[in-house]
């Protein structure tokens, strides 16, 4: 009888830890992470270019663009704002204040509009 109790006790000692193991899976933000998961490093060439916007002085504005700004009625009031150049796209950004907010024109060197955005003022 002692032999059976000893065998049963030894069996419990060796088998219970096998059944009570903790889950080795880690979770980050609710998703399981294993050793196979790796984070790849992006090459610099794979990253989006940095947005490079610089102020343009009045005397550095191309002549064709300046002519379009002075003659086209949609650009009326541009003299009261700062002209910016975005080197990634090659566009000149002209923000023009209106009663309702700000209109931002993106134009090329010749003054042709390429992009347009309007930011309205929040009225309460």
pLDDT in single tens digits along all 124 residues of the chain:
888 888 877 777 777 666 655 666 777 777 777 666 555 555 666 666 677 889 999 999 999 999 999 998 888 889 988 999 998 888 999 999 888 888 899 999 988 888 888 887 765 4
Alpha carbon separation from 83 to 47, 75, 95 (Å, rounded):
27, 12, 7
| CB neighbourhood size of 77 (10 A) | 13
- Report how far residue 99's alpha carbon sits from residue 105's, in angstroms, rounded to the nearest whole number: 16
CB atoms within 10 A of CB 91: 19
How long, in residues, is the chain? 124
In whole angstroms, what is the distance from residue 111 CA to residue 94 CA? 10
Express each pLDDT in 34-67 by its tens digit. Answer: 666 555 555 666 666 677 889 999 999 999 999 9
Quote the CA–CA distance of 116 and 105 in Å, as a whole number: 5
Q: What is the pTM of this model?
A: 0.57
* Structural tokens at position 44: 């610099």
Residue 93: name the closest of 71, 54, 101, 85 by CA. 85
| Spatial separation of the C-alpha atoms in residues 65 and 85, rounded to whole Å | 12
């Amino acid at each position: 009888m002692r032999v059976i109790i000893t065998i049963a006790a030894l069996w419990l000692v060796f088998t219970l830890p096998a059944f009570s193991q903790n889950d080795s899976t880690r979770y980050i933000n609710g998703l399981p992470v294993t050793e196979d998961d790796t984070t790849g490093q992006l090459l610099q060439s794979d990253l989006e270019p940095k947005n490079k916007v610089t102020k343009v002085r009045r005397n550095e504005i191309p002549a064709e663009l300046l002519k379009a700004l002075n003659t086209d009625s949609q650009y009326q009031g541009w003299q009261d704002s700062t002209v910016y150049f975005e080197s990634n796209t090659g566009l000149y950004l002209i923000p023009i204040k209106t009663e309702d907010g700000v209109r931002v024109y993106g134009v090329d060197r010749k003054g042709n509009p390429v992009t347009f955005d309007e930011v309205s003022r929040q009225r309460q």
